[in-house]
Amino acid sequence: MQWHFIITIVRPHRNGMAYGTFHGVFTPAPNTTRQDMYQDLVEYVRKQLDVASISDFNVVFFSAEPNELPRHLKAAG
């Protein structure tokens, strides 16, 4: 099953703080827990930022939901 995720982070930057939001679709391995998914996605963000450690930023928002909409919300057609 695919999951849509959104992660917003904050980190020190020159004269203050910088925020960034990352989003996408993630397909976890079988038996993956929500905590496993979170840790995998935080590691993905770390690599995107090209920083040495996840202690270089803070997650201020995280959401992961099934990517497929329920039938009653899909467009008719």
Q: What is the pLDDT of residue 77?
A: 55
Q: What is the pLDDT of residue 16?
A: 96
Strand (E) positions, 1-77? 3-13, 16-26, 58-66
Q: What is the pLDDT of residue 71?
A: 81
Structural domains of the chain ordered from first start: 3-70 (3.10.20.10)
Q: What is the pLDDT of residue 29?
A: 94
pTM: 0.84
Q: Are 69 and 76 in contact (CB under 8 A)?
A: no
Q: Quote the CA–CA distance of 38 and 40 in Å, as a whole number.
A: 5
Q: Compute mean pLDDT per 10 residues along the chain, 77 residues long, and list them.
A: 97 94 96 96 95 94 94 70
